[in-house]
């Protein structure tokens, strides 16, 4: 049987690189894997994972997908990790946010193939929720408060309308080690570590809550869904909250990092999120109920590694 073809769109981003590493760690690497980049294909990534094919695409224009057809063919599985993922950048340029974050270019390309059975795994965000209650369920109303959340919700609507075989993963903050080729954006835990290590007092919100999720857990969830699709062959229409096991405030995140890295907790100043204008609205409490995710993982050999205690800052 031929190997399944997996395409990671946005393979140069934070999650994308971890996912490519995760695939490479599976015994015998049972897939043919390709990834896309937008700005450049990092040499460190190509050097570390030389068996991968890479393609440049622009999700705004759709440029680059024909080359994938010619050199890789129709993928069996697409994991879309590409996005303008920084809320402030979305607020500054909403047109770009919608044109990149809503995967119309990928959809148009995939729907041009005759056999349309590709599994499309799409990364969404907890920021589709308004943030006025705790422990959101997947069925709860979605009321995004910023452009990033609105563009991601529009993406979810596009995916569920256009595809018949899909999984939408609403991820909370993803944390973990730096990538093979370091990403340009600030990583939450590394930022807290670096800031506290300067020895100055830093303000953190005591009233903004998330369920941060360890990057390798997100990778495991994606690989589990792919394995399930390959072994069972049943189409899926899945909407899933993907968070870590704990609802924590920004203060609690900082305290955890301080504890593990040996920084003084007295440097952490508790302030209210309402006391600072960040130029973009941020939902207050978008902690998620992850019961459905746990049920799915219970059927697989994967369980939460709870990276909070493992590799926060490596």
Ligand X SMILES: NC(=O)c1ccc[n+]([C@@H]2O[C@H](COP(=O)([O-])OP(=O)(O)OC[C@H]3O[C@@H](n4cnc5c(N)ncnc54)[C@H](OP(=O)(O)O)[C@@H]3O)[C@@H](O)[C@H]2O)c1
Rounded distance between C-alpha atoms, residue 83 and residue 102, angstroms: 8
Asked whether position 287 contacts ligand X by CB under 6 A, the answer is no
Among 123, 251, 258, 273, binds ligand X (CB under 6 A): 123
Strand partners for 2? none
Say how many CA atoms lie within 13 Å of 88 toward its Cβ: 5
Among 4, 60, 261, 281, binds ligand X (CB under 6 A): 60
Which residue minimizes CB distance to ligand X?
13
CA dihedral (112, 10, 16, 51) positive or negative: positive
Beta-carbon contacts of residue 198 (< 8 Å; ≥ 6 apart): none
CB 64 within 8 A of CB 106: no
Q: Give the binding-site size for ligand X (rule: CB under 6 A).
A: 26
CA dihedral (290, 292, 295, 299) positive or negative: negative
- Considering beta carbons, is residue 45 or 268 the nearer one to ligand X? 45
CB of 67 to ligand X, least distance (A): 13
> Measured in whole angstroms, how far is the alpha carbon of residue 255 from the centre of its chain?
24
Asked whether position 16 contacts ligand X by CB under 6 A, the answer is yes
First-to-final CA distance of the chain: 39
Asked whether position 12 contacts ligand X by CB under 6 A, the answer is yes
Asked whether position 82 contacts ligand X by CB under 6 A, the answer is yes
Beta-carbon contacts of residue 146 (< 8 Å; ≥ 6 apart): 87, 90, 91, 127, 280, 281, 282
- Considering beta carbons, is residue 39 or 200 the nearer one to ligand X? 39
Asked whether position 38 contacts ligand X by CB under 6 A, the answer is yes
Residues from 182 through 201 that contact ligand X (CB under 6 A): 183, 185
Among 31, 37, 204, 214, binds ligand X (CB under 6 A): 37
Residues from 223 through 242 that contact ligand X (CB under 6 A): none
Among 10, 107, 149, 283, binds ligand X (CB under 6 A): 10
Which of the stretches 71-79, 80-88, 291-299, 302-310 binds ligand X when contact is defined by CB under 6 A? 80-88
Pairing of strands 268-271, 202-205: parallel
Among 77, 83, 196, 226, binds ligand X (CB under 6 A): 83
CB of 200 to ligand X, least distance (A): 25
What DSSP element (H or E) covers 296?
Answer: helix 291-298
Residue 144 burial (CB count, 10 A): 21
Closest by CA to 208, choosing from 223, 188, 191, 193, is: 188
CB of 6 to ligand X, least distance (A): 15
- Considering beta carbons, is residue 100 or 253 the nearer one to ligand X? 100
> Measured in whole angstroms, how far is the alpha carbon of residue 185 from the centre of its chain?
14
CB of 105 to ligand X, least distance (A): 8
> Residues in the site for ligand X, rule: CB under 6 A?
10, 12-16, 37-39, 57-60, 81-85, 100, 123, 125, 171, 173-174, 183, 185
């Amino acid at each position: 049987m031929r190997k399944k073809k997996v395409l990671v769109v946005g393979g140069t981003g934070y999650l994308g690189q971890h996912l490519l590493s995760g695939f490479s760690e599976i015994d015998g690497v049972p897939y043919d894997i390709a990834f896309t980049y937008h700005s450049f294909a990092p040499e460190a990534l190509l050097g570390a994972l030389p068996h991968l094919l890479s393609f440049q695409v622009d999700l705004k224009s759709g440029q680059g997908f024909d080359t994938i057809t010619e050199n890789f063919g129709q993928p069996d599985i697409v994991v879309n990790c590409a996005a303008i993922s920084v809320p402030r950048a979305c607020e500054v340029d909403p047109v770009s946010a919608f044109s990149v974050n809503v995967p119309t270019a990928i959809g148009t390309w995939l729907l041009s193939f005759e056999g349309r059975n590709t599994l499309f795994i799409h990364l969404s965000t907890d920021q589709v929720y308004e943030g006025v209650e705790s422990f959101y369920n997947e069925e709860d109303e979605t009321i995004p408060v910023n452009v990033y959340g609105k563009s991601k919700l529009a993406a979810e609507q596009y995916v569920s309308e256009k595809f018949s075989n899909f999984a939408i993963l609403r991820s909370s903050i993803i944390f973990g080690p730096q990538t093979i080729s370091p990403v340009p954006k600030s990583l939450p835990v590394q930022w807290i570590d670096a800031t506290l290590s300067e020895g100055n007092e830093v303000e953190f919100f005591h009233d903004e809550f998330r369920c941060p999720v360890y990057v390798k857990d997100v990778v495991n969830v994606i690989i589990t869904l792919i394995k399930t699709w390959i072994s069972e062959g049943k189409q899926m229409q899945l909407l899933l909250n993907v968070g870590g096991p704990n609802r924590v405030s920004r203060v609690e995140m900082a305290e955890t990092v301080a504890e593990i890295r040996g920084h003084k907790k007295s440097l952490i100043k508790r302030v209210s999120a309402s006391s600072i204008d960040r130029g973009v609205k941020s939902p207050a409490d978008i902690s998620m109920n992850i019961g459905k995710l746990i049920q799915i993982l219970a059927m697989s050999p994967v369980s939460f590694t709870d990276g909070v205690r493992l590799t926060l800052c490596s």
